[in-house]
Amino acid sequence: MQKIEVFGANKLKGQINISGSKNSSLPILAATLLSSKRVYLNNLPKVKDIETMINLLKSLGSKIKFDKKRLIIDNSKQNKKFASYSLVKTMRAGILVLGPLLAKFGNAKVSLPGGCSIGTRPVDIHLNALSKLGVKYKIIQGYVHATAPKGLIGSKIRFPKISVGATENLIIAASLAKGITILNNCAIEPEIKDLVNFLIKIGCNIKWVAKRSLKIIGVSEINETTYSVMFDRIEAGTYLVVAAVTEGNLNIKNVIPNIIQTEINTLKKIGAKITVKKNEIHIIGNRKIKNMNIKTAPYPGFPTDLQAQIMVLLCKANKKSLIKEDIFENRFMHVAELNRMGAKISTNGNKAVVEGNINFAAAELMATDLRASVSLILAALTAKGKSVINRIYHLDRGYENIEKKLKKVGAKIRRVN
């Protein structure tokens, strides 16, 4: 079992290049199933979840190979409609193959997904919405058995609550449905806009008709295309917090700053000095960190995927802060580990009170999910002495070469077996 050792505490300085977006790549990879022609994808991150999704597509009959840094997907002979638990169990995004398989074949058998244990994240919103396109389904022994006896037929659908995954699944499925689909109360995360841009490029007819509404006219022809995935805004946000918490001086490259304006504004209020250029953010961490109350919310609100990281920063603030987690009901599992390092955080339901004014102490730690694991690295970077983080397979699901990127800017960090 691999571990990461971190020797704090030193100020980090230099440049970090941000990888392609994991949360954008996964639905785009699923959407390639719509095509029977070649798709060329650039800027995919080298992380475990992407590897798992590629293996899932291969199990469905996709022919996939890397040409230098470009992924080539050929679905001309893709004909399988069964997504097994063994491949879907480690990531939530596995359920995203359901929409394209139903659109293409009219039936599919897909395992209910796994992933991080940060909340139930039920798929009922996906299934109820798909049923409005003519899908009939049963859940038997952990598998969704779904059929569309008359094919997918366009409909007007309003999501009962904002769901990134359900929005993605329905956009992909409706792209080949007969007639017109109107989706209301959609999630509008940048990764969804990236998915829509990809689908338009392969020949789908999709248009934003209001802030959270899409009009999709089903098509029968899909084009061969080349597409480059957007930057990973959560990775970018994580390294911005790294600079702020270590009093560092970092240039974050390969980004579009206005996409993460909420995160930039939050860090400025907390005390970081930030200047932006076209594809670059320069951040200098401040020794004096101001307290702040933060509530996670769907985009363009503060992202739940940065909640654990910002909590580490607020542990060093001058006064008490409050964090309200409004997306997932079980996303404070990092609190116990941070408290073992000297933090003073108390939780009550979806609220966490962060006392502030603490110095982290080095410790042996256990990662519980993807973003929690990176928050422990952030805390360890500020603690004197050696910290050891166990169960880092969570980390590898979403961060490409994190120890190499941190080492390059002065962190004393290494991976050990």
Q: Are residues 235 and 370 in the same domain?
A: yes
Tokens for 351? 């609220």
Q: Are residues 80 and 154 in the same domain?
A: yes
Long-range contacts of 272-281 (CB under 8 A, 24+ apart): 272/240, 272/243, 272/244, 274/240, 279/253, 279/254, 279/255, 280/251, 280/252, 280/253, 280/255, 281/236, 281/240, 281/251, 281/252, 281/255, 281/257
Taking only the tens place, the pLDDT of each residue in 81-115 is 999 999 888 788 899 999 999 999 999 999 988 65
What residue spans of 20-154 are helical by DSSP H? 22-31, 48-59, 85-88, 98-105, 124-131
Whole-number Å distance between alpha carbons of 82 and 93: 15
Cβ neighbours, 10 Å, residue 391: 16
How much is the pLDDT for 142?
87
Count Cα atoms within 13 angstroms, Cβ side, for 262: 19
Mean pLDDT lowest among 29-43, 71-85, 217-231, 321-335: 321-335
- pLDDT more than 70, % of the chain: 98
The CATH number of residue 127's host domain is 3.65.10.10
Taking only the tens place, the pLDDT of each residue in 182-211 is 999 999 999 999 999 999 999 999 999 999
Give the DSSP letter of residue 401.
T
Model confidence at 372: pLDDT above 80: yes
What residue spans of 299-392 are helical by DSSP H? 307-314, 334-340, 370-382
Burial class (CB in 10 A: 0-12, 13-18, 19+), 32: buried
The mean pLDDT of the chain is: 95
Model confidence at 172: pLDDT above 70: yes
Model confidence at 411: pLDDT above 90: yes
Model confidence at 119: pLDDT above 50: no
- pLDDT more than 90, % of the chain: 88
SS3 375: helix
Among 213, 228, 243, give the residue marking a domain's end: 228
Instruction: Reply yes or no on whether 116 is catalytic.
Output: yes
Q: Are residues 93 and 202 in the same domain?
A: yes
Q: Are residues 174 and 301 in the same domain?
A: no
Please count the structural domains in the chain. Answer: 2
Q: Are residues 119 and 165 in the same domain?
A: yes
How much is the pLDDT for 114?
64
Whole-number Å distance between alpha carbons of 246 and 345: 20
Q: What is the mean pLDDT of residues 8-14?
A: 93
Q: Are residues 57 and 173 in the same domain?
A: yes
Burial class (CB in 10 A: 0-12, 13-18, 19+), 327: buried
Q: Are residues 279 and 351 in the same domain?
A: yes
Taking only the tens place, the pLDDT of each residue in 30-75 is 999 999 999 999 999 999 999 999 999 999 999 999 988 899 999 9
How much is the pLDDT for 116?
43
Taking only the tens place, the pLDDT of each residue in 260-301 is 999 999 999 999 999 999 999 999 999 999 999 999 999 999
Which residues on adjacent β-strands are paired with residue 178? 153
Residue partners of 78: CB distance under 8 A and separation at least 6: 33, 36, 57, 60, 61, 62, 63
Tell me the one-letter amino acid at 86. S
Taking only the tens place, the pLDDT of each residue in 236-246 is 999 999 999 99
How much is the pLDDT for 331?
83
Tokens for 39? 């798709």
Mean pLDDT lowest among 325-329, 381-385, 404-408: 325-329
How much is the pLDDT for 295?
97
Whole-number Å distance between alpha carbons of 374 and 312: 10
Q: What are the DSSP E strand ranges found in 325-409?
A: 345-348, 351-354, 364-366, 385-390
Maximum CA extent, the chain = 64
Model confidence at 371: pLDDT above 90: no
Whole-number Å distance between alpha carbons of 124 and 38: 32
In terms of Cα–Cα distance, which of 31, 35, 40, 50 is closest to 228? 40
How much is the pLDDT for 368?
85
Among 167, 201, 228, give the residue marking a domain's end: 228
**DSSP character string of 271-292:** T-EEEEETTEEEEE--SS----
Q: Are residues 293 and 213 in the same domain?
A: no
Q: Are residues 43 and 186 in the same domain?
A: yes
Q: Are residues 174 and 263 in the same domain?
A: no
Tokens for 81? 């409609």
Q: Are residues 144 and 105 in the same domain?
A: yes
Give me the domain span that covers residue 92: 22-228
The number of residues in the chain equals: 417
Among 228, 258, 286, give the residue marking a domain's end: 228
pTM of the entire structure? 0.95
Q: What is the mean pLDDT of residues 246-250?
A: 98
Residue 367: what are its φ and ψ, rounded to 5°?
-75, 140
Q: Are residues 224 and 118 in the same domain?
A: yes
Distances in Å between the Cα of 320 and the Cα atoms of 83, 292, 345 are 47, 8, 10
